[in-house]
Amino acid sequence: MKLRGTMRVNSRGHLEIGGIEAADLAGRFGTPLYVLDEELFRQNCRDYHRAFVEKYGAEVIYAGKTLITLAVCRLVEEEGLGLDVVSGGEIYTALKARFPMHRVYFHGNNKSPEEIKMALEAGVGRFMADNLQEIEILNRLAGDMKVRASVTIRLTPGIEAHTHEYVKTGQIDSKFGLAIQTGQAEEGIRLALRLENISLRGLHCHIGSQIFDLDSYAHAVDAMMDFAGRMKRKTGWQPEEINLGGGLGIYYAKGDSPPPVDRYAEVVMSRLKAKSAEHGMTIPRLMVEPGRSISGPAGSTIYTVGTVKEIPGVRKYVAVDGGMSDNPRHALYQARYEAMLANKASLPPGEIVSVAGKCCESGDMLIRDIALPPVEPGDLLVVSCTGAYNYTMSMNYNRLPRPAMVLVRDGQADLILKRENYEDLIRNDTIPDRLKKSKVVSIASPSKTGLSHSVSCLLYS
Ligand code: LLP
């Protein structure tokens, strides 16, 4: 496993993150445990800040869908980035974290009127309008509140991003955005310009995620700016800002070779300048919305190995105490990950195993075919690069409580997300009167380590 950020193997042959042994973290907080390396998260924010904000006066907007908690919002604000949100829940999180709302960008292909009102009241900086209907609803609701909504229109530029089918978004046949080729993008611009409670600020596109090929971004800029040039000639309006979305890929496993962030900035900025000159436009302000490339490498997950099963001549399954419930990405996208045994970090790999989760689903795998030192029950397996789209896509399948998350830095570990317990799992369950009965039952409650110990408890209905 490639070591990231503050990860290191200490003289005892144990893996440390943020100056703390993974075994210590597991002992204190239990497993599965999400670990966020504060220094690396901040470093990734700073790389973007330097490459885009300091060099080109661009705006960097962190995509909260990859990883959002109150503490994460605080880090993002301290590092001077904006925040991309996609739901009332994410807006609520930003509000509770007291994130400056004028730096919040509200996305979504089906924003409800309640969410739109909430966003207007909160004073979000931009509505990233996805379709014609949304522009009209927004105009009406803004009018009711006697405010003007700042809007950027999301376009589908028809760009081929070389990435997984499920995370491609720039093509015409997409649920997101208004397609340039069909004329709907132009219709959106004309509509927004006509409506009195809408202030049209710019154009947006997001061509996909886990992208390594910077040419895809260059083509996206070309398509956006050629469209902007046509709009200028036809309507006189020109965008103040061009938002290119997120998508920069990261290293998960061998074969992944992400380009450096400053190169990404150079490529898109030089296209933006060239195209602005070609169309006789002032250079619009560049905006990007990175998510994975900031949070992804900064997160890792510690699991405890449970059962180890060898099917002779076929495969050795190592089962851990989490799985698709805390990281569904292999099940969904065949995503690849690297891992190591934190307590045997300096032992050479001795066998090829596959890491399975504990959910009742054959597809509940985390890693297929990985070389590890001899694995035994009780070992601590650390999967790297789980900072993005893990916690935010986690679930309670099989009523597994979701893991805790700790923020580590300089030998200090702070809990930023509590582990769910069994009580949390039934918190929203209700029993209709006709099904109620009075009885005494015994339930089990999860211990800190994730292993269960049984406690007797009286439940009266
Ligand atoms: N901006 C917009 C409008 C987006 O839709 C996305 C991601 C981003 C920014 C951030 O993209 P990033 O820099 O993180 O690639 N769940 C999938 C990825 C879905 C991407 C959704 N949109 C996965 O786990 O790979």
The model's pLDDT over 291-319, given as tens digits with 9 standing for 90+, comes to 999 999 999 999 999 999 999 999 999 99
Residues 257-294, buried b or exposed e (16+ Cβ, 10 A)?
A: ebeebeebbebbbebbeebbeebebebbbbbbbbbbbb
CA distances from 22 to 8, 25, 27, 353 (A): 10, 5, 9, 21
> Which candidate, 197, 273, 208, places its Cα nearest to that of 242?
273
Residue to mutate (ligand 1; options 292, 333, 395; most atoms within 8 A of CB): 292
389 close to ligand 1 (CB < 6 Angstrom): yes
Instruction: Give the pLDDT band of residue 174 (cuts 50, 70, 90).
Output: confident
8 A C-beta contact, residue 82 and residue 59: yes
Per DSSP, what are the bridge partners of residue 367? 355
> Does ligand 1 have an atom closer than 6 angstroms to the CB of 130?
no
Nearest alpha carbon, ligand 1 atom 2? 245
Mean pLDDT (whole number) for 18-27: 98
Q: From ligand 1's centre to the CA of 167, what distance in Å?
A: 7
Q: How does pLDDT run across 403-442, given as a tens digit for each residue? A: 999 999 999 999 999 999 999 999 999 999 999 997 656 6
C-beta separation of 306 from 385 below 8 A: no
Q: Is 107 in the pocket of ligand 1 (CB under 6 A)?
A: yes
Annotated catalytic residue 45: no
- Centre of ligand 1 to C-alpha 108, Å, is 12
Which residue, by CA, sits nearest to atom 23 of ligand 1? 389
Considering only CA atoms, which residue is closest to atom 1 of ligand 1? 245
Asked whether 289 lines ligand 1 (CB < 6 A), one says yes
| Amino acid letter, 116 | I
Whether ligand 1 lies within 6 angstroms of the CB of 84 is answered as yes
Q: Would you say residue 164 has pLDDT above 60? A: no
In terms of phi and psi (left: phi > 0; alpha: psi -120 to 50; beta: otherwise), the region of 170 is: alpha
Kindly state the average pLDDT of the residues 313-341: 98
Vertex 439: Cα angle to 438 and 444 (nearest 5):
135
Strands 241-243 and 285-288: parallel
Mean pLDDT of the chain: 94
- Global confidence as pTM: 0.94
Q: Ligand 1 pocket: which of 289, 332, 395 to mutate (most atoms <8 Å of CB)?
A: 289
Compare 57 and 450 and report the one with higher pLDDT.
57
Task: Indicate whether 453 pLDDT > 80.
Answer: no
Partners of 445 in the β-ladder: 453
CB 109 within 8 A of CB 78: no
Higher pLDDT, residue 37 or 170: 37
- How many residues are listed for the chain in this entry? 461
Q: Percent of the chain, pLDDT > 90?
A: 90
What domains can you pick out in the chain, each with its CATH number?
A: 8-36+298-421 (2.40.37.10), 38-295 (3.20.20.10)
pLDDT score for 158: 86
Task: For residues 358 and 380, give the distance between their C-alpha atoms in angstroms, rounded to a whole number.
Answer: 15
Give the tens place of pLDDT for each residue, 62-108: 999 999 999 999 999 999 999 999 999 999 999 999 999 999 999 99
pLDDT at 461 over 60: no
**Looking at the predicted structure, is the pLDDT value of residue 232 above 60?**
yes
pLDDT bucket at 161, cuts 50 / 70 / 90: confident
Question: pLDDT (tens digit, 9 = 90+) per residue, 188-222?
Answer: 999 999 999 999 999 999 999 999 999 999 999 99
| Position 458 pLDDT exceeds 50 | no
Backbone angles phi, psi at 450, to 5 degrees: 90, -20
Q: Cis omega (within 30 of 0) on the bond before 32?
A: yes
**CB within 8 Å of 236: residues ≥ 6 apart:** none
Instruction: List the catalytic residue out of 45, 73, 360, 385.
Output: 360
When pLDDT is cut at 50, 70 and 90, the band that residue 122 belongs to is very high
Calculate the alpha carbon distances from 137 to 59, 109, 114, 146, 410 in Å: 27, 13, 11, 14, 49
Interior angle at CA 344, CA 338 and CA 347, nearest 5: 90
Q: Which residues are 309's β-sheet partners?
A: 317
Decide whether any atom of ligand 1 lies within 6 Å of the 154 Cβ.
Answer: no
Residues 234-280 pLDDT 10s: 999 999 999 999 999 999 999 999 999 999 999 999 999 999 999 99
Q: What is the pLDDT of residue 460?
A: 43
C-alpha distance from residue 454 to each of 305, 422, 445, 447 (Å) = 21, 12, 6, 9
Residue type, 183: G
Bridge pairing between strands 351-356 and 299-311: unpaired
Query: How far apart, in whole angstroms, are the C-alpha atoms of residue 187 and residue 153?
Result: 11
